[in-house]
Structure 1
Amino acid sequence: MDRTVQARGMADAVARRSYGKLVAFLAAATRDVAAAEDALSEAFAAALADWPLNGCPANPEAWLLTVARRKGIDGLRRHRGGEAAVAQLQILAGDRHAVSADFDDTAIPDRRLALLFACAHPAIDAGIRAPLMLQVVLGLDAKTIASAFLASPGAMGKRLGRAKRKIRQAGIPFAIPSRDELTGRLEGVLEAIYAAFSEGWSDPGGTDVIRRDLTTEALFLARLVADLLPQEPEAMGLLAGMLYAEARRLARRTAGGDYVPLAAQDVSLWDTAMIAEAEALLLRASTLGRLGRYQLEAALQSAHVERRRSGRTDWTAEVQLYDALLALTGSPVVALNRALAIAEVSGPQVAMGIIDALTVDGRLLDYQPYWAARAALLTRLRAYADARHAYDNAIGLERDPAVRRFLQARQAALRS
């Protein structure tokens, strides 16, 4: 294999599996997330120059940390002065023995969970905590994060920059907070993990480098939180909901890679062990007497799984769950999914009225599932011209080639 290709492959693999771990390690001492990201970025650039010439190191994570720490020291010397810079230089220089190139990467302390809770500190605006975690712990770019939160990339980038400065200026510690501080931080941590899982879930074939392995990483972090906080029902609810969804992964595509919607999936392909684990988690969470968003999300996933046992979907129960979830969150996405469930109970005309009312929230106009849902309901109402227009928008917004082909086939069927 060409050494340049091999080096790029190695760098890509390390970025996907260890980006957050490396940023968290670098930033833990200095509490400067932006500087850690910059230093790590320079280290990756140095790797792409060095590895094709000298070969990939046995421990690429340790190699990157060594170079990133050196880059961080150089950056401090160039851009900062005074006692604060001297203190940070001493930290970086004194910590240089912490990782040796002879260690394997498991010797690098995994501080991702601490970094997640640092990003959820009360000094940081609640609305930016989850996006901040997605960028600094999971390495997503501002454009991808903006899409997940129905925001513009420019505005999201500015807000992320301000949040990182806040961590440095306020000296926010990278540590798991005490029990009495957890309540105010847990929601943001769970929201970030959920958003990461959702982003990876939209790329089941692993064809998008940015989103590849996100579901695995999100499940890992969800397990960490659930193990850390065994009396927090929402942590268990989140993990349960993710396991229910992941259990259906193999059924979401045919052998040829075509998209299969939930209603048409072969339930025999669903992962029985994952479903059983999810059921146990949801049951245990329900005994703690504190119902929340993620338990309701998991209960909806459990309702989907009921089709595996009974052969049918209880849409009335799903509508009731969506009612509770909408009352709790006020989310336009929940309102959209609720409308689709109502269509199965009360008909497409009623659901279409609900969806029409949702257009006042301009964010949904750039949300692919909104247009796909609209197209499906308009088709059932035989409003074919309007359905074609909705399919055009849905197809234009869809990133997954398999889903795009599915939508195109549905649109083509209108002509016949």
Structure 2
Amino acid sequence: ITVDPAGEFSALVFKIATDSHVGKLAYLRIYSGSIESGKVVYNVTREGRKERIGRLLQMHANQRQDIPMATAGDIVAVVGLKNIGTGDTLSSSIGRPTLERITFPETVISVAIEPKTQGDLAKLTEVLDALMNEDPTFKAKIDSDTGETLISGMGELHLEVIVDRIIREFNVKASVGKPQVAYKEGITASGKGESLYEKQIGGKNHFAQVSLSVEPLARGQGFKFVNRLSSGSLPAAFLGAIEKGCQDSMNDGILAGFPVVDVQVRLDGATFREGESNEIAFKIATYEAMKAAMRNASPVLLEPFMKVEIETPENYVGDIIGNMNSRRGKVINMEMREDVRVIDCHAPLSDMFGYSTQLRSLSQGRATFTMELLHYDEVPKSVTERILGVSGYSQPPQQMIAGDN
């Protein structure tokens, strides 16, 4: 894209905010062309969806000034865009290049939030939708097992700020539970599974047979599906249903119902019958086959590990390292920056709750730290047994409270 005020319009949405006076504000950085109030633009990130520019605002802190137009190089706020999100590309025509999207890390911590009255329930739903539009690293969902509303974010402080905004800024009366770690599950070996689904429903036979195998992928690789059947041996619709069934089965693992990650699935065999097989039958058969395969593949619990950087005066280094070791943390590097010691550590998130208060206590308020997600890694066996409650398979609640670790 050439930066040219006379060229075709192209802009990146880098922030969404909710304003009590004008509603949703979309902040744009214009890379090419110009835009005026009332003009139609296209969201090329969302299949060329048409949007109309309502008002153009020049923002000065919390002051707004209406402007008639903006050109390449300007940063402006737009009122009137409906289906828009952070990282979207707006253009004057369909088919224009998409600007590089902003990537956001996964959420690693969640808390349950419950409105105190029925009136607060309706308001809370609207507020959570608005906050998710504003902040792509914030998620909210209803737990299918407990019926609780769970809000998820990047850390304790992140969720504290969100909860404070919900209660104070949006005037929603709500109670909040303890922080919970977003565990996941993985496999450490290969495993095979097969399932035969044969049932009569409403006088009609339903049939599907699936055999498959699973094997672990490197951390962060996600999900891969490999079809080892000969070409044309299975209708494409059934093949798609099998892949969907694999993904569905990974939404809840067999250890504690957490999502399963980093698995490759190989489809080794599938049998269908004309007039009796359908997509639903293959999804169900695949779901059961996947559960059996993952149970045979040495499943493990995975927890988020955080990259922690601590800045402290030299006097407190010993106490801080000792405390970090007690939290299953590992010191990776230490260096001096002017007169401050910088300590780089890796530590499991489940043991980092309350660390801000502890660090202030250890350093008389003089040390600071930052923390970000590093990766997911296997939970030690002794800790897994404490989390699950027993050694071996069990079905505890979907969410584990971090303080129980």
> Fold match, TM over 0.5?
no
* Structure number with higher strand proportion: 2
Greater RCO, 1 or 2 (C-alpha within 8 Å, sep 6+): 2
TM-score by length of 1: 0.26
TM-score by length of 2: 0.27
* Structure number with higher helix proportion: 1
